[in-house]
Amino acid sequence: MFKQNGECVLDAKCNPIPVVEKAQANQSSNQKRTRIGIVAWDYHDLCRGVHNEPNGVAALGAQLLEKKGYKVMAIPHTDFNPRDKLVRRVQYLEQQLKNLLSTGKYKRILEAVYSSLMAAVPLMWSPDKKHSDRERWICIYPAYINSKKTLAEGRRVSKEKAVENPTHQEIRDVLSAAGLKIGVENKLYSRERSKEMLYRGRIRVQIKNDDETLINPLFPTRDSILVYLGQMIPKLKSRSGKTGGSEQSQAQQSGATKKKSKGRR
């Protein structure tokens, strides 16, 4: 009834214990070890609606694992996207283990996981590349700042800081006006359901020089750029023109209804 998707056993120094040594460690009660149970929760295991919490069965399974001496590392389907790049997957596991373990030696585990993943998948990003190389530029999809999207659909800022249905052209115009070096790519966000051209497009932005200095001190991180986009896109002339046109059409419609009502009298 209860399913455990993976297991990791660590010694006192937080080094992974191989399967053979694990059996020997089970026989020795004096040896300090940490047992981590990995559980993947799909949509059947979570409560419906906005609550991203496990249901009763999933929560009971996690409690039983804790009773058996495990530290449970749960991976909800809303937090993990199988289409994400390898680096993002490793960063996700790193953050999960960082939250789970109180010691700072968890990086040794990640190095083993990272090396095994790198052996199977070709490397897409390398820290040896310069900041001027496009591979090291940050990526921005319109969904990141779309107020019509949920967090599960890719929005990365609060709705108050987001904008309604932005396009990659608007992002390009705002960042170009800010003096940043950008690139436009014909990419579709992995969480985007619609295949229309309106939702295509990815913007790459260079935020650092090769000497590690910031190109613009106002934009030290991607989040700072996303907040800036949410502030500036509504101020574009194309946006103000649409707003003014809609208000004018509403005024014309209201005037027409008044004239009709007068004629009927």
- Provide the pLDDT confidence category of residue 103 given band limits of 50, 70 and 90: very low
Residue 192 pLDDT > 50: yes
**CB crowding 176-190: b at 16 or more within 10 Å, else e:** eebebebeeeeeebe
3-state helix, strand, coil in the chain (%, to 5): 45, 15, 40
Rounded percentage of the chain residues whose pLDDT exceeds 70: 70
CA distance 256 to 63: 66
Angle at 142 between CA 227 and CA 137, to 5 degrees: 75
Both tokens assigned to 10: 């660590």
pLDDT at 205: 93
pLDDT at 147 > cutoff 90: yes
Q: Which pLDDT score, from 0 to 100, does residue 104 have?
A: 45
pTM above 0.75, yes or no: no
Buried b (16+ CB within 10 A) or exposed e, 107-128: eebeeebbeeeeeeeeeeeeee
CA distance 59 to 67: 12
Q: What is the pLDDT of residues 28-49, one digit of tens each?
A: 544 567 788 888 887 778 887 6
**231-261, pLDDT tens digit by residue?**
999 999 888 765 444 444 455 555 555 544 5
Domain 134-240 has CATH 3.30.420.40: no
DSSP secondary structure code for residue 127 in this structure: T
Q: Which of 7-16, 24-33, 51-60, 235-244 has the lowest mean pLDDT?
A: 24-33
Domain boundaries, the chain: 6-120, 134-240
pLDDT attached to residue 246:
47
Which amino acid makes up residue 92?
Answer: Y
Which range of 13-27, 97-111, 212-226 scores highest in mean pLDDT? It is: 212-226
